[in-house]
Amino acid sequence: ASDLADGSLQLIYFYGPNNYQLLKKVTPGFGKNVYLSIAGINLINKLVVVPVFNWLEKYISSYGIIILILVLLIKIVLSPLSYQSYLSMAKMKVLKPEIDEIKERTGGDQQKFQQEQMKLYQQVGVNPLSGCVPMLLQLPILYAMFSFFPSSIELRQQSFLWADDLSTYDSVLNLPFTIPLYGSHVSLFVLLMTASTILYTWSNNQMSTAQGPMKTMTYLMPLIFMFVLNSFPAALSYYYFLSNIVTFGQQAVIRRFVNEDKIKKALEENRKKGGRKKSKFMSRLEDAMKANEEVQKQKSNPKKKR
């Protein structure tokens, strides 16, 4: 629209597909009509995912294959983070017998258990957060895809395998009733994604020291996403499913380069050297745990009034 002058306003209408690359050429800021996630994360889509996706479109006609290649490219770029995450889990697996021993020794005293656990980590020079950081750095990409596929008009009426249209859900079974929060259909890609995520979670839990509610929560999240994604585009659940499958293969390759005996030997060497210097974060965490323990003791053993 032009500036208002002499009581008249000139409007220019655009008729065309809601395609990001096309809309951003119309006028500055017009590309915002395509939602590509929140500020910050949308840069991943604008600067990386959309250009790569459009480039692959020029040479490959099957969008199912394009999504597969997109998964492989992203996994290759993120492989250093995946390696660090797996290495951290391998260290936790080596320490698991000692952690189980600490848990048995401390009984049901959760505060004491956490203190002894942190002490062990310090002795062998392990940062318990080292495995979380690589995983957290990968989350923005997963979230970017959550916005990219529902906004991709290129996927409309594009079929792949049993999915007639990758821009909507792939219904393989229509139910005669509606399940609250789930719907009246069954998406096979979502079921495959859920099953592979649960299998991936189970595999990681064999190396994890998580206990009780924390371990239960890791199995609950895939089931929650099964309900959430059932009515989302098949391309999205297909992407997440492929991502899980490629991760299995990636871990199989990484496992060939990670020697648990060498890790155990390195941790013992750290123990002999006196561990490592306690970080400020770990010091604050330990102080907070001790303070909380004192509060709990005071509550359980109040002073008698005279």
Q: What is the pLDDT of residue 81?
A: 86
Q: What is the pLDDT of residue 21?
A: 83
Confidence of residue 306 (pLDDT cuts 50, 70, 90): very low
Q: What angle do CA 123, 129, 130 make, to 5 degrees?
A: 85
> Which residues of 5-145 form beta strands (DSSP E)?
none
Give the per-residue pLDDT at 303. Answer: 54
Closest residue by Cα to residue 99 from 239, 208, 242 = 208
C-alpha radius of gyration, the chain, whole number:
26
Local confidence band at 119 (pLDDT 50, 70, 90 cut-offs): confident
User: Residue 228: what are its φ and ψ, rounded to 5°?
Assistant: -65, -45
What are 42's strand-pairing partners?
Answer: none
According to the model, what pLDDT value does residue 305 have? Answer: 45
From CA 295, how far away is CA 290, in angstroms rounded?
Answer: 9
Highest mean pLDDT among 29-43, 175-189, 274-288: 175-189
CA dihedral over 201, 203, 204, 205, signed as positive or negative: positive
187 strand-pairing partners: 171
**Cβ(99)–Cβ(207) below 8 Å:** no
**Percentage of the chain lying above the pLDDT 70 cut:** 83
